[in-house]
């Protein structure tokens, strides 16, 4: 059973990687972000979107970890 799970996980990971690569190739136009006078260098739109996705995943995981550890400490 674990072999089927590994193969399924590998196939899904390969599919997700292909989707991200196609997304980045399709969104290659340059853009510049400006926030409170601070601006970024012109980069493809896909770079900003993937960076936001990764940052959101890290922040969401960190918040979940803090909430779970707080519940475990109380009881």
Higher pLDDT, 33 or 73: 33
pLDDT at 73: 66
- Give residue-wise pLDDT tens across range 28-72: 899 998 989 999 999 988 888 889 989 999 999 999 999 888 777
Dihedral sign for Cα atoms in the order 38, 41, 46, 51? negative
pLDDT category at 26 given cuts 50, 70, 90 is confident
Alpha carbons 25 and 41: distance in angstroms, whole number:
19
Q: Would you list the domain boundaries of the chain?
A: 2-74
**Extended strands (E) in 1-75:** 30-31, 34-35, 38-39, 43-44
pTM of the model: 0.63
What's the DSSP call for residue 17?
H
Alpha carbons 40 and 22: distance in angstroms, whole number:
24
């Amino acid at each position: 059973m674990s072999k089927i799970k590994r193969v399924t996980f590998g196939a899904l990971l390969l599919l997700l990687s292909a989707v991200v690569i196609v997304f980045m190739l399709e969104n290659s136009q340059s853009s510049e972000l400006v926030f409170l006078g601070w601006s970024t260098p012109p980069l493809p739109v896909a770079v900003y979107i993937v960076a936001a996705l990764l940052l959101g995943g890290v922040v969401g995981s960190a918040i979940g970890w803090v909430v779970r550890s707080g519940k475990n400490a109380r009881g």
